[in-house]
């Protein structure tokens, strides 16, 4: 027989996001949910021989305006089934 007990645990959830380029900050309590949900956060694990260093981890957080300014020329914008995940 297996017996169970309840256990409380702490769960980390995002509360504040800050753009690494312009410094714009927003919290999950702000009413501006569009800028909250459109923040772009990238985490990338580098491999051996990376220009950033072997097995480095890159992290980048950008507001949607800075992302557009920096990368719009390289993005392929579409919708629907064209970019289904």
Domain boundaries, the chain: 16-83
What average pLDDT score do residues 4-32 get? 92
Question: pTM (2 decimals)?
Answer: 0.77
Give the distance between the most distant pair of CA atoms in the chain: 62
Pairing mode of beta strands 16-18, 40-45 = unpaired
Banded model confidence at residue 83, pLDDT cuts 50, 70, 90: low
CB 66 within 8 Å of CB 72: no
pLDDT surpassing 80 at residue 44:
yes
pLDDT 10s digits, 20-34: 999 999 999 988 899
Contact at 8 Å (CB) between 20 and 44? no
């Amino acid at each position: 027989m297996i017996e169970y007990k309840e256990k409380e645990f702490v769960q980390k959830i995002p509360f504040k996001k800050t753009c690494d380029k312009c410094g714009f900050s927003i919290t999950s309590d702000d009413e501006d949910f569009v800028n909250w949900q459109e923040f772009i956060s990238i985490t990338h694990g580098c491999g051996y021989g990376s220009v950033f260093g072997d097995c480095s981890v890159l992290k980048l957080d950008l507001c949607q305006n800075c992302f557009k300014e920096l990368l719009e020329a390289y993005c392929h914008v579409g919708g629907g089934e064209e970019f289904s995940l």
